[in-house]
Amino acid sequence: RLYAIGDVHGRHDLLAAMHRRIETELEYAPATDWRIIHLGDYVDRGPDSKSVIDFLIEAQKRDPRNIILAGNHDIGMLDFLANAEPDGLFMNYGGVQTAQSYGVDFTRDMHWFGKAEAVAR
């Protein structure tokens, strides 16, 4: 049995609820084999990207049948960590909310290395 979950975008509450529903289904209608395929876009927009990432790490540790793929927003976050671009995917589509879930507050009016960048206060 395959379950596919995508575009969580920082909504830990909805991801946890989906996992509870899957666990309930597997309890009442067991499958000889199953996988939960997480299709990416865990971060950005929603209020709790950090909890989403933490939840997925723990889910995969508990059971390797949790398959976790990276989406474009996840790659955008990694790209931002490697090279902070103020006008990249991460900053323009929810990076501020993602950073806040990690306790980082961004402002766009500061400068790094002589060019406008997003800077953690």
Active site residue ranges: 73
Distance of alpha carbon 3 from alpha carbon 117, whole angstroms: 39
Question: Could you tell me which residues are beta bridge partners of residue 115?
Answer: 112
Distance of alpha carbon 94 from alpha carbon 49, whole angstroms: 10
